Structure 1
Amino acid sequence: MEVVRMKHRPMRMLVCSLVGIAALCVVVFSVVTEHMQEKGAETIRYIGESYMSSMSRQVTMHLGATLDLRIDQVSDMVEEARSLNAEQLRTSARARQFDYLALYQPDMPPEKTLYPILGSRLVPDDPEGLKNHMEAGEDRIDMGRDQLDGRIILISAPASGEITVDGRTGTGLVAGVWSSYIDENLQHELEAGMVESWAVIRADGGIVGRAPGFHVSEGPDFLAWLRGRENGGDIASELQKAMEEGGEFSFPLTTESGEANHVYCGPVPASSWYLLLNTSYGPVNSGIDGLGSSWTSTAFGGCAVILIALLTVFGWYIAVTRRQLHDLEEARRAAEEASQAKSQFLSNMSHDIRTPLNGIVGMTAIARSNTDDPEVMTRCLSKITSSSRHLLGLINDILDMAKIDSGRMTLNMEQVSLREVMQELVTIVQQQVKLKSQSFDVYIDNISVEDVCCDSVRLNQIFLNLLSNAIKFTPEGGNIKVTLYESPSPKGDGYIRSHLQVKDNGVGMSEEFVSHIFESFVREDSARVHKAQGAGVGMAITKHIVDAMGGAIRVKSQVGVGTEVDVILDMEKAAVSESDMHLPNWPMLVVDDDESLCMSAAATLKSLGVHADWTTDPNEALEMAEKQKNSSGAYRLYLVDWHMPGADGIEVAKELREIAGDNVRILLTSAYDKDDMEDAAKDCRIDGEIAKPLFKSTLYYGLMKYMGDSPEAEPPGEEEAEEEHDLAGRRVIIAEDNDLNWEIAEELLSELGLELVRAENGRVCVELFGKSEPGEYDGVLMDLRMPEMTGYEASSVIRAMDRPDAKTIAIIAMSADAFAEDVQRCLDCGMNAHSAKPIDVKTVAMLLERYMPEKK
């Protein structure tokens, strides 16, 4: 028995030891597990808090960098404002994706401090704070509202000195974006769950703005809400102290639903704001709950989760950074493209100006070399005048682009002769067509109303833009065809619908580009058009003008085939009494290679009382002349086109002369330069020339020289009769600070018999009038921009004088400031009328006669 007990004793001891060791292991493992669980939980919480604080700091830094970039962009626009106009600033602001842009005017009332350049008027929440920062030369970010009480983030940048926009002077620029900009900026973080919600507060705890998901505060004061929570007073005090010192602060926070959150507070650059970012402990708590099964597996699992999370966040952060850099690069490229388009417009604008300028320079050179030939001098001066008017209209259009783009373009309605418009258009482009050896034809079909009411400058601009494009993109030797015809207007009998068609066989355009042709600064990127100069605004301006006139424009084009542009305008008939146009019914033959032109000319001649035969074949014309020469219906007048394919009009005319004899009239017709026709027709026994387009009045007055009793008949407007102006002995003050302008005015206006007295500026003008006897001066021609006192100020002072003639003396503005608002401002200051420079003597004389008091 003893032996048996001795055998079992070690076994019991082993079992007990095993059990004890097992129990000890269980106890130790349990204690260690529990301890490691607590330490692990604390460690995970610490890591989570550090992670969320770091990420929150990165979000704040990212937002700060974005706002700093925005401030730099506004500062750049402040410098741009010194050289760009308002429209260019608007384009720059849009390129930088600003919703608003305003000029800061410190001397205006608070509600008008910000003069709108882009978007509606803005009103800052803290006008005094904005003023203080502007005066101190400091950038600032603040809140404001627009006219619809929308919340706007205001980004202001002061200027080193004054800047001027739209004639207004300020000390800086204020740009604006919607308050949702912060939410959009943090959208990636919100979507990724890194930040659940945000709020922007002031140092006193007032909430400036918050995301819809920011539910950790009720009411407008975050600090007051925080103090009302359990143990929240100390946190609120520390948070307020950190904000007062401009530092950062983070703290844990439990919501009403018991959810654990972490809140980070950091300052927003260039403002008195602080950004609150709210993140949740939810993902971290999920990791802690899984720690109960095994601290080892939990540790490894936690590490794996953390590593995966870190790798995910890191990879996401890299992707977001790359995406943001890409967006910034796209924005930079867009801004550079916009700037390059503006620069290209300025550098290429010379092409559009050279069209009439070439006519001025060329005709001036011809006039200089023919000073002893009055007839040549007269023709050259007439063409110089015509080209100068078109050049002035073109410059006005370029300067008026801002008004066109903003939809504030105004039309100056006046009586216009379509015949004169087309003749001047042909005169301007003849040289370009000639240099490129292009075939240029003008067709006038079924035009019964030649005088209409419209804006002549805008109408010329439409025609010239379309024809310049056709010439520019049609190669040498190409064909250009201009057609003008009319049809009944749907507006009624008082209107006529005019159709203008410009067709060429040039390089053409792709279907894709045609859909963008009316956009500003757009040119087709093709090797076919690289040699063609242009700014890319002509068709955009044309479309705006046509729309303003209530018309329509259509473009059809095919690459390598050509382009056709159709413009339709409903224009009011001018209230003029047309003279009875009737010609003797002489037998007449029209010879032209174009059948449409022959039929149109024959129809127009029929309306003048002349039956005309026509043919497109020069050989057939010779046969018809031979056949009719001995009959009672022998032709007495021939109209022969100068340029016909396969035949020269000069040679055809010579053969017709040999057949018909010296008793018939042979006239050349052409859309080319009349001077060139005259040179080609010398010593060829040709009686005269008629320049196309062949309007009814053109044919009537052109043929009357050879058919009627008045061989010197000229169409109205061809040689304008000099009007008699009864201005002799009238004394007029000319307020003009520029010596050259005074010399020109004195030379031109003294020929009217006026006694002129110069005032070098507005103050001298006021003194001259104030010291004169009542009635000593009959009028004042007032420049607007003068030193010491402007024309506006001088006119107001004169009208306010206590003397009998202060209200009756004629004050006429004579200035290069010729926009509609300039004219209206002149009238508001007491002036009677406005005459734009360059000086039009007839207009000035007419205005003086109209407004000067009658002679006593």
Structure 2
Amino acid sequence: MKAKYKNRGWFLIILSIIILLISGFFYLRSVQRSLWEKSLTDILEVTTQGRHALDTYIEKDMEMLSLIVAEAAAQDPQNEEALSQCMKSSGTSDSSYICVNLDSGMLYTGFLNRGYSLNDEQLAMLSVLQGKGIREPFLDGRTGVWTLGYYETFTWPDGTKGLVQKTQPLSEIAERFSLSFYNDTGFSYVVNQDGDILLRSMHRNSNRTFHNLFDIIDLQGNDAQQVKAFESALKAGNRGVARFWYQEEEYIFCYVPMKNAPDWYVVSIIPNHVIMEQANSIVKDSQVFLILILGASVVMAAFFILYRNSTRQILLAEEKARKAAESANIAKSRFLSNMSHDIRTPMNAVLGMTNLALEHIDEPDRLQGYLENINVSGQLLVGLINDILDMSKIESGKMTLNIDTASLDMVLEKIVKIIQPTAAKKNLSFDIQLHRVEHKTLCFDVLRLNQILINLLSNAVKFTPENGSIRMDITESPSEKKDHAHLTFCIADTGIGMSQEFKDHIFDSFTREQNDHVNKIEGSGLGMAISKMIVDMMEGTIKVDSEAGKGTIFTVDLDFLIPDEIPIFQPSDEKINLSGRHILLADDNAINQQIAYELLTELGAIVTTADDGLVCTQEFENSPAGYFDLILMDIQMPNMNGYEATEKIREMDRPDAAQIPIFALTADAFAEDIAAAKKAGMNSHLAKPLDIPGMMREIQKYVK
């Protein structure tokens, strides 16, 4: 009898284990499926939000187009000048409008004061457009760039049929089309119903080789019926999810139809392993619990333990998934919060000090102090804006290095002039020492090297108490690269140092250590992140060694190409004299024009002003040969921009057209802007706000 009960007991135990294993198997599968479905819902929601943002952008453009159509429809279809002026007043720096008389085949644009006739092929292409809508991207024959076109047809009162089209560079739309999934592992496309890729997200993983979504899928040997079902879903205008192999890995394809662009879809592509990572982690944890249960003597107790722990893990995983879906919004909010505070602080100082200066305009001593404070706050504001623009350029992959031959002495001379005055105000000892530096003329990006070193030294000044010391040692050593010199920049201070916890995040964006001393010091938290990114672009390294209360040491290692025997201009301290020199100044901003005008006339120059590029070229063309010694040219101007004006001047048939120095005078201060100025035929590039001493040194190079 006992054996019978014993066998029954074992049977119940074995049965319980079998039931538990089966239940556990289905339970884990259910959890995995639920998490996967929840993640897909989140991705679809983010894709829908991205679709909505793009739809809104298109809708606003279509509304603006309708206003232009109404204006064009009110004109006489035979009045070429009025229609051209209507298109001219509607365009911007990144978009343009055309009006077409579909009956006569005449096209009117803001670039000409009269219309010109389209050929039969061009007219036929536009005549098929009906109503209002958006064209698929096409190569603009005028600009040579891929373009998006919005169009709307209309009828003039006399029955003549017309069409207005707005074109905009596709790259401008792509910059606004940015979706982020699971720590930037996913990317998105805009496609049509045939799978043709119309718009690519600015993402490092976005494949730019393929032009059709189904080419990507077919190459992976996916199931033909699944591919067919995906094609049918796009044809039917459905919203959903598909799974395919891409680049030897399974990916999730989430597709959402657009509203304001019929037959277009936003498609998000995310690696399946990223989505399943959390679910797989829970499955592995649960398997461990099941193994423990098998060895437990009390099946029910072990079951409750497993259930309780598994439930907790599920809740944590769901919370983690929710936080991951909200990470983009949180990052945006943090950015706006940081920038709102850091920009408003110097802006309030500028406005407040300006009001005080106006109230005490007849008190020179007080006025001087107010103006000095305005200058300091203005420089801080410019630094913050530059940091934001630099971070945006770096993250979008648009920042490039402007490598040129330069002198290390010139870099150090400028650094001393910037750092020494602020260090002296705090009674700080500031010293620069060179060790075994044999090559002072090297090839590098002067702006970016300056940015790295000034960021590090400025922080040293900020965080070093009075009577402390700051030292920069520069050491040359043999480089592993051929024809290169290896330089080590070591910046050490006796400042407040930093905690070990913060040191691990020193190069993260918008990161600042939180304590009473640091919170009183202005800064965006971007300087170190930008410095690290620039060092990485230069294929160098940067590291930090610090301890709270004992100072900080930053070490930067970089390799520089050694140029041939090339002479470097050494600026003179001699005061520049422009007496009798004729300078042509082109700037459409009245305030900027006044500032440059007064600076130059105080040095004796005779200044002629022009409000846009077209007037500038006319002033030069109408002047006697050799009359002007220098042209200062703004870039963003109406009628004709600075690049176009420079090219037109260089093409003129007169002896001084090719030799006269032309300087770009612009707020566009990135490496690609400097390269564009040189390509247009300009001799130099001066960034706004103007560095007055730097501008004078540059003028002195060309105007003797």
Normalised to the residue count of structure 1, the TM-score between the two structures is 0.45
1:473 correspondence with 2:473: no
Task: Choose from 650, 657, 666 the match for 1:815.
Answer: 666
Between the aligned partners of 2:437 and 2:408, the Cα distance in structure 1 is 12
**What are the Cα deviations for residues 154-213 of structure 1, in whole angstroms up to 9, with x where unaligned?**
435678889xxxxxxxx98643202556766876999899xxxxxxxxxxxxxxxxxxxx
Change (3 A) 1:61 1:542: closer
Between the aligned partners of 1:140 and 1:749, the Cα distance in structure 2 is 64
Between the aligned partners of 1:60 and 1:551, the Cα distance in structure 2 is 46
Alignment of 1:335-734 (within 5 A): 335=328, 338-339=331-332, 341-343=334-336, 345-347=338-340, 349=342, 395-405=385-395, 406=397, 408-416=399-407, 418=409, 421-422=411-412, 424-429=414-419, 432-433=422-423, 436=426, 438-442=427-431, 444=433, 452-453=441-442, 454-476=444-466, 478-487=467-476, 489-490=478-479, 500-524=489-513, 529-549=518-538, 551-569=540-558, 572=562, 717-722=572-577, 734=586
By relative contact order (CA 8 Å, sep 6+), the higher-ranking structure is 2
Task: Choose from 73, 92, 97 the match for 2:46.
Answer: 73
Structure showing greater Rg: 1
**What are the Cα deviations for residues 636-692 of structure 1, in whole angstroms up to 9, with x where unaligned?**
xxxxxxxxxxxxxxxxxxxxxxxxxxxxxxxxxxxxxxxxxxxxxxxxxxxxxxxxx
Between the aligned partners of 2:702 and 2:192, the Cα distance in structure 1 is 42
Change (3 A) 1:69 1:470: same
- Structure 1 gap segments, 5+ residues each: 1-47, 163-170, 194-304, 580-714, 851-856
Task: Say whether the 8 Å CA contact 1:143–1:153 is kept in structure 2.
Answer: yes
Task: Choose from 268, 274, 279 the match for 1:175.
Answer: 268
Task: Say whether the 8 Å CA contact 1:386–1:424 is kept in structure 2.
Answer: no
Q: How many residues align?
A: 520
Task: Say whether the 8 Å CA contact 2:42–2:325 is kept in structure 1.
Answer: no
**What are the Cα deviations for residues 575-615 of structure 1, in whole angstroms up to 9, with x where unaligned?**
58799xxxxxxxxxxxxxxxxxxxxxxxxxxxxxxxxxxxx
1:740 correspondence with 2:578: no
Between the aligned partners of 1:113 and 1:327, the Cα distance in structure 2 is 31
Residue 153 (structure 1) aligns with: 252
**What are the Cα deviations for residues 70-104 of structure 1, in whole angstroms up to 9, with x where unaligned?**
22223445678899x9999999725x445233464
Residue 100 (structure 1) aligns with: 186
Change (3 A) 1:492 1:395: same
Aligned-residue CA RMSD in angstroms?
6.7
SS at match of 1:481: strand
Aligned residue type for 2:548: V
Alignment of 1:305-344 (within 5 A): 318=311, 321-331=314-324, 334-335=327-328, 338-339=331-332, 341-343=334-336
Between the aligned partners of 2:541 and 2:590, the Cα distance in structure 1 is 46
Q: How many Å apart are 1:752 and its aligned residue?
A: 4.6
Between the aligned partners of 2:488 and 2:52, the Cα distance in structure 1 is 47
Aligned residue type for 1:507: I
Q: How many Å apart are 1:480 and its aligned residue?
A: 1.9
Task: Say whether the 8 Å CA contact 1:415–1:574 is kept in structure 2.
Answer: no
Between the aligned partners of 2:196 and 2:619, the Cα distance in structure 1 is 41
SS at match of 2:685: strand
Normalised to the residue count of structure 2, the TM-score between the two structures is 0.53
Residue 116 (structure 1) aligns with: 202
Aligned residue type for 2:448: R
Between the aligned partners of 1:776 and 1:134, the Cα distance in structure 2 is 66
Q: How many Å apart are 1:508 and its aligned residue?
A: 2.2
Task: Say whether the 8 Å CA contact 1:503–1:562 is kept in structure 2.
Answer: yes
Q: How many Å apart are 1:410 and its aligned residue?
A: 0.7
Q: How many Å apart are 1:563 and its aligned residue?
A: 1.9
Q: How many Å apart are 1:557 and its aligned residue?
A: 1.8
Task: Say whether the 8 Å CA contact 2:239–2:257 is kept in structure 1.
Answer: yes
- Structure 2 gap segments, 5+ residues each: 1-21, 58-171, 216-227, 287-298
Change (3 A) 1:434 1:399: same
**What are the Cα deviations for residues 537-572 of structure 1, in whole angstroms up to 9, with x where unaligned?**
322333333444555544222223222234455555
Between the aligned partners of 1:130 and 1:846, the Cα distance in structure 2 is 67
Change (3 A) 1:517 1:311: closer
Q: How many Å apart are 1:118 and its aligned residue?
A: 4.5
Identity of aligned residues (%): 24
**What are the Cα deviations for residues 478-500 of structure 1, in whole angstroms up to 9, with x where unaligned?**
51232445455548999776554
Residue 835 (structure 1) aligns with: 685
Between the aligned partners of 2:393 and 2:179, the Cα distance in structure 1 is 17
Task: Say whether the 8 Å CA contact 2:423–2:429 is kept in structure 1.
Answer: yes
Between the aligned partners of 1:391 and 1:414, the Cα distance in structure 2 is 31
Task: Say whether the 8 Å CA contact 2:252–2:272 is kept in structure 1.
Answer: yes
Alignment of 1:134-213 (within 5 A): 141=241, 148=247, 152-156=251-255, 174-179=267-272
Between the aligned partners of 1:446 and 1:64, the Cα distance in structure 2 is 62
SS at match of 2:206: coil
Change (3 A) 1:727 1:382: farther
